[in-house]
Every structure is written in C-alpha cells, then in structure tokens.
C-alpha cells in the first residue's frame, strides 16, 4: 500500500457506510426531480429512474470493486495514486474535493431556501448569512468531536429523512394504477438526453462512503456491500416516489414543489408541511455526510505528500483530521456566502464527473498489479463494466456548458500550483 500508517479510529461499520452513501445520494434532488421527469415522460417517468439507476450501477459496481483493494483513507485519491502516480492522484482528489466543497456551499444555500418557507427572515440579509454560518460551524463541530459523534449525527438524520418519504409511499401507493405506469403517451424523445443527464445526477454522491475507509472496522467487506445495497434501495425508493407523485398529481410537471404538492393532495396541509420538513432534514443529512467525507480527502492528500503536513495533522484527543475540517468549513462558508446555488452546483457536478472517470480508468491498472486475491469484490464480465462506466462519465462531462469548464479549469490550475509548490517546499527542506 502507498498510503502511510494512519492514526484514525476504525469505528465505522456497514450501517455507517450505508448512511454516508444514502445521505450522499438523497439530498435536495428528489424533492424537485419528479416534475422534471414528468415533463419528459409523464406516467412512464418512474422507469426513467430505474434506467438511470442501471446506468449508474456500472459506476457504483466499479467503486465497489476498487474499495475492496484498499483499507486506507482517501478513496479516489488512493485509487488514482496506485494506478497513475501522485500527480494524477492529487488532481483527482483535488477535483473531487472541489466538487464536495462547492456542493456543501450550494446545498447550504438550498437549505436556507427551505428554511425560509417556514420563516421568511432566513431568505435574505443578515439573518440569512448568520444562519448559514451557524449551520456550517455546527457541522464542523460535530466532526471535531470525533467520527463516532459525526456518524451518530449522520445515522440519526438518515433515519429522520427516510421516514417522511416512506410515509409518502405508504399513504400514496393506493393511488397507483399499474396499467398507467407503462403509458408512453407523454414521452418526449427530443428531451430524453438532457433529462437523463439531470436524473442521473440524483444518483451522484455515493462515493462519500469510500473516502473514510481508514476509519472502518472491515472496509474491504463493508464498503462494497453498503454501496450496492444503497444503490438498489435508492433506485427502488425513487421509482416508488415518482410512481406515487404522477398518480396523485397528474399536473406534477408544472409544479415547483412536486413532493410537497403531492403530499398535500394525500394528507392535506400536514402532508405539505411534512415534505417541507423532510427536505430540510434531507439536505442537512447530505451536508453532514459531506462534512464527514471531504476533510478526509485533504488528510489523505497530505499524508501522501501532496499537500502541506498541516492538512494531515490529527487531533490527539478526538483522533480526527482537525485542520482539514477547519479548512473545509472555512472554504465552504466563503463560497456559500459569495456564490449562487446554480453556479456552485454546476461546477460541483463537472468536477465530480472528471474524478469518477479517473477512478474508472484506474481499476484495470490496479486489478492487473494487485496481489490481493481474497476478500475482494470481483466484477462479472471483468473490465467491461468499468469501461462502460468510463464512457458514461465522459458523456456526462461533455454535457457541461463552457462557463462550467472555465471555472473547473481554473480550479485545476490552482490545484496544480499548490501541488508544485508543496513538492518544491518538501524538496527544499
């Protein structure tokens, strides 16, 4: 193994990794995507979620295989370094880190939007900025007190966020007409590509579970199973939510808050408020999951000699990468206070697609070099699945607009400068 010996506690089990993956996947998207899907395919839209789940299964299966080769913290950073060396590893980790920081900033703003539906004062001005700051500081604080404390928060929020969604399905399943699920009368083939890209983004974020492998009790066993089980569960959940939504609210395509409107049809004002609260809890869980995973990336980059040693320092009392957590919270807060949700979300998506692609390309190299023959997850069909996954990530990257590429390119250049400076300083010392 390339990664150096770690000082982190191994206290995350399969349930914890599943919670990280679920929170990475189920964020704000499911509360707005039902309308977008219905615009393209109407009653047939639940099957689009299934199709997207099958496409993303190639990426998830590849990550499951990759995770079974390693025990150390860092996930994609470790994969890229093993396959392509430190320079590619750094940029992979840096891009995925940028993807998470910008996502944390964007979703923090989205959380304030939903909170403002309950208390309008959170929408703008000083109250908005103060509340935003408090949220990010609290997320950082739970991580400083240790990964066990942070995972307790993530597990609890995962439980809370799923209850309203499951209740929505339970009370709404009776509205579903099975014969209408196969109706293609409203299917719009011209918008298929763009809508597919949008819906696939609902399945992005699962990789949060592979990063803190250095704090896992049995990483090679628990992480692959957690990833696969989470994808299956999430795909089924999306399918059922969409099925209920289009059945309960035929005009859902024109709704700006589809699940709240559909829940209101089923349970009245209580249902609408329940879904608004569910959105708040869901985004909070997503933020907590990102705050657990992202600082471990700069930690891994540091202990591998690609970032200053400051990022790799571990708090002696709580055994967490405290400096990386401080840096993550500070950068996210600056971005959240100065950037728009749309701009940050686009940059986050593109950066993550590039990082996924490098990971897919690394699997054949790692498989050929590895001496690990037991306790690893073997893919059916050999390298066919990661090759298909690589093609998917390239296609998704090409859908981004030129402005997103410019901003992402600027981050790549900044990362390259930091990498060169760090190598120069280490050589000089």
Q: Per residue in 116-165, pLDDT tens? A: 878 888 888 899 999 999 999 998 988 877 656 555 666 676 677 788 89
Helical spans, DSSP H, in 211-257: 219-248
pLDDT, mean over the chain: 82
Question: How far is it, in rounded angstroms, from Cα 421 to Cα 218?
Answer: 36
- Under DSSP, the state recorded for 377 is P
pLDDT at 84 over 90: yes
Range name among 9-13, 272-276, 287-291, 295-299 with the lowest pLDDT average: 9-13
Domain boundaries, given as residue ranges, for the chain: 14-428
Q: What are the tens digits of pLDDT across the range 159-196? A: 777 888 999 999 999 999 888 777 777 777 776 776 67
- Tokens 């400076």, located at residue: 421
**pLDDT recorded at residue 39:** 86
**pLDDT recorded at residue 93:** 85
Question: How far is it, in rounded angstroms, from Cα 317 to Cα 260?
Answer: 44
**pLDDT recorded at residue 1:** 39
The pTM of this model reads 0.77
Q: What's the whole-number mean pLDDT along residues 406-415?
A: 89
Q: Which residues contact residue 349 at a Cβ distance below 8 angstroms, ignoring those fewer than 6 apart?
A: 99, 201, 204, 400, 404
Higher pLDDT, 386 or 86: 386
Q: What's the whole-number mean pLDDT along residues 263-276?
A: 91
> Cβ distance 335 to 365 under 8 Å?
no
> Cβ distance 129 to 337 under 8 Å?
yes
CB atoms within 10 A of CB 157: 22
**pLDDT recorded at residue 214:** 54
CA 17 centroid distance within chain: 13
b/e burial code for range 340-363 (CB count within 10 A of at least 16 → b)? ebebbbbbbbbbbbbbbbbbbbbb
pLDDT at 213 over 60: no
* 3-state SS class at 304: coil
Helical spans, DSSP H, in 42-146: 45-67, 76-84, 86-118, 125-144
pLDDT at 325 over 90: yes
Note the CATH architecture for domain 14-428: Up-down Bundle (1.20)
- Under DSSP, the state recorded for 11 is -
Q: What are the tens digits of pLDDT across the range 287-301? A: 887 888 788 878 878
Task: Please give the torsion angle defined by the CA atoms of residues 39, 40, 43 and 47, in that order, rounded to the nearest 10 degrees.
Answer: -130
Strand partners for 216 = 12
At 374, the pLDDT band (50, 70, 90 cuts) reads low
b/e burial code for range 108-120 (CB count within 10 A of at least 16 → b)? bbbbbbbbbbeee
- Under DSSP, the state recorded for 216 is B
């Amino acid at each position: 193994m390339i990664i150096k010996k770690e000082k982190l506690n191994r206290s995350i089990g399969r349930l914890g990794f599943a919670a990280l993956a679920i929170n990475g996947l189920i964020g704000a998207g499911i509360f707005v995507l039902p309308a977008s899907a219905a615009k393209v395919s109407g009653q047939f839209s639940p099957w689009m979620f299934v199709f997207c789940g099958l496409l993303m299964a190639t990426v998830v299966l590849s990550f499951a295989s990759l995770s079974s080769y390693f025990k150390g913290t860092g996930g994609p950073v470790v994969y890229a370094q093993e396959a392509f060396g430190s320079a590619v590893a750094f940029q992979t980790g840096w891009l995925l880190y940028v993807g998470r920081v910008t996502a944390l900033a964007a979703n923090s703003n989205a959380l304030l939007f939903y909170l403002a539906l309950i208390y309008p004062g959170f929408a703008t001005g000083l109250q908005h900025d103060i509340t935003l700051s408090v949220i990010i500081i609290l997320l950082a604080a739970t991580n400083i007190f240790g990964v066990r404390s942070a995972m307790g928060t993530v597990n609890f929020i995962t439980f809370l966020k799923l209850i309203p969604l499951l209740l929505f399905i339970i009370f709404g399943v009776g509205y579903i007409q099975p014969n209408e699920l196969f109706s293609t009368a409203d299917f719009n083939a011209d918008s298929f590509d763009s809508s597919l890209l949008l819906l696939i983004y609902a399945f992005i974020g699962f990789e949060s579970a592979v990063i803190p492998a250095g704090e896992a009790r049995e990483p090679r066993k628990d992480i692959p199973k957690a990833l696969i089980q989470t994808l299956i569960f999430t795909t089924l959940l999306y399918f059922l939510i969409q099925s209920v939504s289009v059945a309960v609210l035929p005009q859902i395509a024109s709704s700006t808050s589809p699940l709240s409107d559909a829940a209101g049809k089923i349970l009245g004002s209580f249902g609408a408020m329940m879904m608004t609260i569910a959105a708040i809890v869901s985004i909070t869980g997503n933020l907590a999951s990102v705050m657990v995973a992202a600082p471990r990336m700069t930690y891994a980059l540091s202990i591998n000699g690609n970032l200053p040693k400051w990022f790799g320092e571990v708090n002696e009392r709580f055994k967490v990468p405290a400096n990386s957590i401080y840096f993550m919270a500070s950068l996210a807060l600056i971005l959240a206070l100065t950037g728009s949700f749309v701009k940050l979300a686009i940059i986050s998506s593109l950066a993550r697609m590039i990082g996924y692609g490098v990971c897919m390309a690394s699997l054949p190299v790692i498989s050929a070099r590895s001496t690990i023959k037991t306790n690893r997850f073997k893919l059916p069909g050999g390298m066919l699945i990661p090759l298909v996954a690589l093609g998917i990530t390239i296609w998704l990257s090409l859908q981004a607009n030129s402005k997103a590429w410019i901003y992402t390119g600027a981050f790549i250049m900044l990362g390259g400068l930091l990498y060169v400076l760090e190598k120069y300083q280490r050589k000089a010392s």
